[in-house]
Amino acid sequence: MAPAGDDHYHPKDAVSVAVKAGAVTGAAGVFMAAIQNALAKEHVGAWAVLSRGGGIIVSMAAVGGIYEFSRTASANLREKEDPWNTAIGGFLGGAVLGLRSMTLSPLRPSTN
C-alpha cells in the first residue's frame, strides 16, 4: 500500500491481470457449460461440456480478459484510477458479446 500522502499512480501489468481474469471467467464458463450439459434432455457424455459448450467457455474467457486488460491499460495510459477505466473496460467487454451475437442493438433480436 502506498504511504499516506503518496498521490502518484503506480502502473500495473495489464497482460498478467488479463490472463488471470481470463482464467477465472473461463472457469466460470466451464461451470456454466457443465450446468447446461447436465440439463440437456438427450443423453450426452462428459466431453459434451467442451464440445457443445466451447463457445460459452471461450466467450466468457474473452470477455473477462478483454475487460480487465482494457481497464488496466486505460488506467496505465491515463495514470489515474477512476470510473472511466471501468466504463472503457465494460464497453470493450460488451463489444465481444456483440461480436458473438453479430448484432449492434441489444433491442433487436438475433437472427440465429
Report pLDDT digits (tens) over 26-66.
Answer: 999 999 999 988 888 887 787 888 888 888 899 999 999 99
Half-sphere exposure of 17 (CA within 13 A, CB side): 16
For residue range 65-81, list pLDDT tens digits in order.
999 999 999 999 999 99
Is it the case that residue 103 has pLDDT exceeding 70? Answer: no
pLDDT at site 59: 92
What is the value of pTM for the model shown?
A: 0.80
How far is it, in rounded angstroms, from Cα 26 to Cα 35?
14
**Pick from 69, 84, 64: which is nearest to 17 by CA?**
69
pLDDT at site 93: 92
The DSSP string of 44-87 is --TTHHHHTSHHHHHHHHHHHHHHHHHHHHHHHHHT--SHHHHH
Instruction: Provide the mean pLDDT of the chain.
Output: 86
Q: Residue ranges of the domains in the chain? A: 14-101
The answer to whether residues 71 and 88 touch, using CB atoms and an 8 Å cutoff, is yes
